[in-house]
Amino acid sequence: MVELVVTDIMSKVSDHRAHVLVLQEKEGLRKIIVALGMLEAQAIAFALRKVDVGRPLTHDLFGSLAKAFDIELQHVFIDRIDDGTFYSVLYYKRGEDFVGVDSRTSDAIAIALRAEVPIYIREELLNRMCIRDERNGAISIPITAADENTLRAAMENAVKEENYELAMKLKEELDSRHHNGSAE
């Protein structure tokens, strides 16, 4: 497991109603991007900025319920991606018992930020969903936000530059989208 931190929330240039959340490994340079709607982005932004809106929002309510029933959120775990959607689990502890609760990743992150608990991802998922190009210094280029045409162009360019490792990762991402029946 690799710990992630929220580094940014941005509006997509093509559609200001759509947002992306940038998560970066805590002890490294790899990043992933998670697509969000406007309301999800707002809930995460409020948690990041510790905005007090007076009355509890839905994600605040989860924390209040957990406290009322003596349940403690331990961490969030982003455990898979399917058809372009990340899936997460909230891990709670009550007494000696642990329980995992399925969650949308955006909700899990909003709740984790409010509870100030770590966000983790599988190492292999992080490796699959980001690309490291270390030829010109260590940078990360997340591929989850790229459409198929962009991925194909990047793959062709990587082959021309004889960067076969990058080309293979791009091909794997393209193949996985078709294997899952999705084509962006």
Best CA proximity match to 165, nearest among 125, 134, 123: 134
For the whole model, what pTM was predicted?
0.72
Handedness of CA 171, 83, 13, 46 (dihedral sign): negative
Instruction: Tell me the β-bridge partners of 155.
Output: none
pLDDT in tens, 44-71: 999 999 998 889 899 999 999 999 999 9
pLDDT at 145: 53
Residues 120, 76: contact at Cβ < 8 Å? yes
The CATH number given to 2-126 is 3.10.690.10
What are the extents of the domains in the chain?
Answer: 2-126, 146-179
**Angle at which helices 38-49 and 105-115 pack, to 10 degrees?**
10
